Amino acid sequence: MNTDLTPEDYKNIAAQLRKPYGEYAVEIGERMNAGNLPMNLHTLAVLNPTRNDSILEIGMGNGHFVKNILNMDTSIQYTGCDYSEVMVQESEKRNINYVNQNRARFVQGNVQELPFEDNSFSKIFTINTFYFWDEYGQAINEIKRVLRPKRTLVLSVRPKHNLGKFPVTKYGFSIYSQEEIIAMITKEGLRFKEVTQIKEPSQEHMDFMFERECLILTFEK
């Protein structure tokens, strides 16, 4: 493991993962694309975008995987909402053709105050953002508000026993078990449907090989 990093270094990395900003924001976005590639692809398989879907992604980073959604069908509409202004700008640049075709839009916003009308989306998904939500009840109710009736929320996280192995997650991450997450979300009125568990290939992180896993939790309004 890289022993040159100090607790302050890890705090700074954690802050960037929560909300990429400043001179390292673009690099952080690219690193997240590489580190979360299997997780993104498995999540999109569970999400299963289909004809005429209106999809919201909360925390899309630099929008690298938007093409994977919109290439499935020309009738799909995509909205990305991110806490980071830099990530919104990077997403727009990366997906300018889709933006010009009015098939994609990107907005800066907070999951506790989603800037959308009621019942706007047929599917909502989010990957590796749950750890950073400050007010879980308010966030889940906002998601419920903008999700259409009987439609789907897909939430992907690293499981507690896996995420806790990463030194950076000691700083600014709230880590919950699968059971705790399900209880928190169903308490606010969404119905738990199923969980998909994935073991990913090992990856090097901070000069250390980590086994990565992901939980893909599906809920319905």
Confidence of residue 21 (pLDDT cuts 50, 70, 90): confident
Give the whole-angstrom CA distance, residue 198 versus residue 84: 28
Residue 144 one-letter amino acid: K
Q: 27-41, 121-135, 187-201 — which is least confidently predicted? A: 27-41
Q: What is the pTM of this model?
A: 0.91
Is residue 214 situated within a structural domain? no
The residue range of the domain holding 111 is 7-208
Is residue 16 situated within a structural domain? yes
Is residue 48 situated within a structural domain? yes
Question: What CATH number corresponds to the domain at position 174?
Answer: 3.40.50.150
Is residue 218 situated within a structural domain? no
The Cα-based distances of 205 to 17, 35, 163, 216 in angstroms read 14, 9, 12, 22
3-state DSSP percent of the chain in helix, strand and coil, to 5: 40, 30, 30
Is residue 199 situated within a structural domain? yes
pLDDT at residue number 143: 98
Q: 121-135, 153-167, 191-205 — which is least confidently predicted? A: 191-205
What is the average pLDDT value for the chain, to the nearest integer? Answer: 91
How many separate domains does the chain show?
1
Is residue 61 situated within a structural domain? yes
Is residue 219 situated within a structural domain? no
Tokens for 170, please give them. Answer: 């000691």
Is residue 2 situated within a structural domain? no
